[in-house]
Amino acid sequence: MQSTLAESKAVALWQRPHVPLLFLPVLFFFAFLVVPQLYMLAVSFFTYKPMEIFTTDITIENYLRFVKDPFYRRVLLYTVWLAFSVTFFSLLLGYPLSYFLARTRSSKKGFYIFLLLVPLMVGIIVRTYGWIVLLGREGLVNNLLIGLNLTATPVKILNTHTAVVVGIVEVLMPYMVLPIVSAIQKIPVSLEEAASSLGANRWYVFVHILIPQSLPGVLSGSIIVFTLTAGAIVTPALLGGPKIHTMGTLIYQLMISSLNWPFGSATAFILLLMEFVIVLLVLNVLLPVTRRGRKT
């Protein structure tokens, strides 16, 4: 009886019009994401051989090499620090912009959102070289600093952590702003008006109403920005110079330049594991706060 009921439910589920539409996306997901990831996971346990790239001899030496070498550990820690820095400044700059876009009644709102998305429409190489022109010793930023008598000599901005953060924040800002805009738009304006009418100042409204209610958007945007920053390659390589190494640039060098696919695959999965652990910890800490904010 139970098997017949289960079969009838399965048939009814398959006959729903939207279920067959899921087949192609799911197939695409497994074919171009899951399968390559599983293949890289297998390669990470293979043995590197210069003339053949790798042999199928199973070993954990690739992972042990990463853990034992202080250089690779420093690269991992710097990548985490860079990802947190970019996430922090993206949130700091993006939240006021998100509030403006969510609450504005201007007829130019669509144009403002278009301006926010413009950086995503420009190739990453062109965009990064634009920052090189702006931040170089003879660039616009240094010329302004000298012209305003804030410095007598050009300031070194390129090939620094600051340049990398600035370049990535500019690229990833839309990924932070748009989820927060969506979250703030769901907060009734009447809540802010009611709090103000009862004597609450703007800071109280911001801390006790806006932030708790918009935490889902903040959480979504922060996770997206953090993970994209951790895997960034082009911007750290061009703006950071040879002295700044991230996991993304390291993996690129191992896979493309050195052709050490086993060690490059192991490094990639260590990065993936690091992102997974940090995101899981953040979710466990902030999700209860988000639920309480919704109830209030």
The residues spanned by each domain of the chain are 52-295
Which pLDDT score is estimated for 292? 58
Entry pTM: 0.86
Which pLDDT score is estimated for 93? 95
The one-letter code for the residue type at 57 is D
Ramachandran class of 259: left when φ > 0, alpha when ψ lies in -120 to 50, beta otherwise = left
Which pLDDT score is estimated for 201? 83
Q: Using alpha carbons, select from 220, 265, 225 the residue that is nearest to residue 247.
A: 265
For 247, residues 6+ apart whose C-beta sits below 8 A from its C-beta are: 75, 76, 79, 230, 231, 267, 270, 271, 274
Which pLDDT score is estimated for 49? 87
Which pLDDT score is estimated for 7? 52
Which regions of the chain are under pLDDT 70? 1-20, 287-296
Task: State the chain's mean pLDDT as an integer.
Answer: 86
Asked if 290 contacts 216 with a C-beta cutoff of 8 angstroms, the reply is yes
DSSP 178-212: HHHHHHHHTS-HHHHHHHHHTT--HHHHIIIIIHH
Q: For residue range 91-118, list pLDDT tens digits in order.
A: 999 999 999 999 888 888 889 999 888 8
Which pLDDT score is estimated for 188? 87
DSSP 81-146: HHHHHHHHHHHHHHHHHHHHHHH---TTHHHHHHHHHGGGGS-HHHHHHHHHHHHSTTSHHHHHHH
- The SS3 call for residue 276 is helix
What's domain 52-295's architecture?
Answer: Orthogonal Bundle (1.10)
Percentage of the chain exceeding pLDDT 90: 46
The count of other CB atoms within 10 Å of the CB of residue 245 is 19
Partners of 53 in the β-ladder:
49
Dist. CA 68–CA 58, nearest whole Å: 19
Tokens for 236, please give them.
């750290």
Q: Which helix (H) or strand (E) holds 24?
A: helix 23-29
Asked if 40 contacts 33 with a C-beta cutoff of 8 angstroms, the reply is no
Greatest Cα-to-Cα distance within the chain, rounded to the nearest angstrom:
87
Q: Using N-to-C axis directions, what is the helix angle for 261-295 and 70-103, rounded to 10°?
A: 40
